[in-house]
Each structure stands twice: as structure tokens, then as C-alpha cells.
Structure 1
Amino acid sequence: KPIISAVNGAAAGLGLVLALYSDFRLASRSAVFTTAFAKRGLVAEHGVAWILPRIVGAAHATDLLMTSRRVEADEALRMGLVHQLSDATDFRASAHAFAMRLGRDVSPRSLRVMKRQLWEAPFQALAEAVRLANDEMVKSLGSDDFREGVAHFVERRAPAFTGQ
């Protein structure tokens, strides 16, 4: 299942770590982010030195970890730390709408397979990743969700995916 973090305030230290392990990070325009570790005499805990560069790139990760500076929401969006921003007044509704669209419009089976692919790919050679993706594509073409994906497109109706 996709994990969505909705940040409407500060995400600092461990709070930021939890958001980083999410599949989607949504934030209000008033949100702020900081690693805080270096300012507390700590190190990059809980694998943050592994995941942060994969999200924002090595240069931004180095900056965020070594300076522990506060990053405002607009900058977080520009560096790829968050996926979308909403005004604080409608933030809860916007985050809820995002989750509902995800649950309604896309195949749970596809999400499940793609999430696994995204987590495993950094540890695979390209040839292995392509081979496994091709195997999964064959399985997808035989799935109920594929049939439903084609049917709802052709019939111009909302999908009714089962995850199968």
C-alpha cells in the first residue's frame, strides 16, 4: 500500500525520517523541514543518509544533513523533498482528495508491484531489473486489473479495480 505523509507544520529529526520513508509527501505552504541531527550532536539516524540522497540528490542531502537548516515548503517542493503543496486552510481536504484519487483511479496490483520494484531496483543490475519487469509485465497482462483498466478506458467509466 502506498504511504502518504501529510506535513502541516514542522517535520524535524525523526519526524522527517518518517516522512522520507513515505511514498508521497504532501505539505502545507506553512510546513518546514529540518534534519536537526548535526545541531544536536547526532548523526544521520535510521538510514536517512541512504534515503535522503535518493529523494533530493547528493548535493541537497549533504546540505540538509550537515547544516541542519530549516527548509521552507516552497524550497522543499523545488528540491523534490515534497510532491505537492496546498494552502494551510484547505490542506486536510487536499491531502484527503489526493489519497482518495490514488485509491480510486489506479490499480492496487500495479501499485503493489511498482512499490516493490522501486525499493529493489537500487540493488539490481539493469539487466536484472529489466528481466524482472518483463516477467511482471506478463503477469500484469493476465491480471483482472489489466482487463478492468482496458474496459474502464474503452467504456469511459470509473475503474473498479480489485487488486487481482
Structure 2
Amino acid sequence: GPPDAFDPASRPDFRLQYPYFPAVPKPILGAINGACAGLGMVMALYTDIRFASDAAVFTTAFSRRGLIAEHGISWLLPRIVGMANAADLLYSARRVDAAEALRIGLVNRVFPAASFRDEVTAYARMLASEVSPRSLAVMKRELWNSPFQSLSEAIVDANADMALSLKSEDFKEGVAHFLEKRPARFTGR
């Protein structure tokens, strides 16, 4: 079975060899600071948020090696960059620089290579210290489950999740730290 780090309620789809990042209840940030190709591209696509340095270069590579879109990226890539961009990236296996990757939505932000590590670390620290880990875990599950649901199913699940959130320690802390104008001390419960 999955390691303890996995959400026990995660979909079986996310318990396979490469697409397991969605089953990890913490956000997984992709930090791409160089070449991102083939299996590296697959791994990057399964991260929740992707940051690139201005030195990053992306390629699917498969078609130029006589291979196919592996590990489910023919399902995932169009959801990230749209069908036509996914077809372009997969069919041509051309190289895409960080600016184009940002323009088509392959990455969320691009930072100068010189400050890349500091920028990504600052974002990770912000998530770790300023937001509820419980909220992050629930929202991550909701986001990754939504492609498999109808709108009404997503709403029913979100309503149930919200009812539990309103009873959580993190909700009480979220209100308290806001009213008391102090840093949050979330527990994840």
C-alpha cells in the first residue's frame, strides 16, 4: 500500500509509479532551473505549482526518440496548457524556454536564475508558516479530484469539507490570529 505520507483517501490513479504527487497531502512545488525533458517533464507536470528560472528549458522529447506520451501526460498536459499547446509540445518535442512556458501556463512564475532559489524558498516558507496545512491538504485533494467529478459532485464534496473545516482547530486559529493581528499558529487539525 501507499506510504504513510499519502492521503489514505487518495484516488487509486494517484498511487502509481509516477503520478503519486497528487496523493501526497502537502503541496509539491516544482522548481525547474535548467533542462526539463522526458521523464523530468512528467515529474514536473505532476507537481501542484511550477516555478522556473529564466534559464529553464522544457521539452517532452518523446516523439524524437520514437516514444509516446507516457505516464498519463496525455491526460494531464492538456489540462495544464490546453489541447492545442499539448499537441504542439508532444508532437514536435520542440524546446520551449521559460518565457514561453509561462505564456502557455506550463509554469506559474519565472524568476531570474540569480534569485531563483531564494524566491522558491520564500514561497515554500510562506506556505509553511502563513496558511493552514489542513486547508492545503483538503484543497489539494479537491483540485486533483475535480477532473473526475461533475460540478454537482464537486459542490457536494466541498460542502462536506467546509462543514468539517468550520469545526477544525485551524479555523478557530485562522479567526483568532486575524482578529488579534498576530502570526498564525496552525496545527493542521
Query: Normalising to structure 2: TM-score of the pair?
Result: 0.85
Alpha-carbon deviation of 1:119? 1.3
Partner residue of 1:112? 137
Larger % of helix: which? Answer: 1
Partner residue of 1:28? 53
Provide the rounded CA distance (Å) in 2 between the counterparts of 1:49 and 1:123.
Answer: 15
Letter in 1 for 2:101: A
Unaligned runs of 5+ in 1: none
Match status 1:85 vs 2:110: yes
Letter in 2 for 1:40: R
The match for 1:131 among 145, 156, 174 is 156
Residue-pair matches, total: 164
Provide the rounded CA distance (Å) in 1 between the counterparts of 2:107 and 2:73.
Answer: 15
**1:41-76 deviations in Å (ceiling 9; x for gaps):** 100001110110111111111110011011100111
Match status 1:103 vs 2:128: yes
Provide the rounded CA distance (Å) in 1 between the counterparts of 2:186 and 2:65.
Answer: 47
Provide the rounded CA distance (Å) in 2 between the counterparts of 1:88 and 1:152.
Answer: 35
Alpha-carbon deviation of 1:93? 1.1
Provide the rounded CA distance (Å) in 1 between the counterparts of 2:99 and 2:130.
Answer: 28
* Superposition pairs of residues 60-71 of structure 1, within 5 angstroms: 60-71=85-96
Provide the rounded CA distance (Å) in 2 between the counterparts of 1:128 and 1:4.
Answer: 28
Match status 1:153 vs 2:178: yes
Alpha-carbon deviation of 1:96? 0.8
Partner residue of 1:121? 146
Partner residue of 1:8? 33
Q: For 2:58, what is the secondary structure of its paired residue?
A: strand
Could you list the structure 1 runs, at least 4 aligned residues long, displaced by more than 2 angstroms after superposition: none
Alpha-carbon deviation of 1:24? 1.1
Structure 1 vs Structure 2: percent identity of aligned residues?
60
Partner residue of 2:44? 19
Unaligned runs of 5+ in 2: 1-25
Query: Normalising to structure 1: TM-score of the pair?
Result: 0.98
User: CA RMSD for the aligned pairs?
Assistant: 0.8
Q: For 1:163, what is the secondary structure of its paired residue?
A: coil
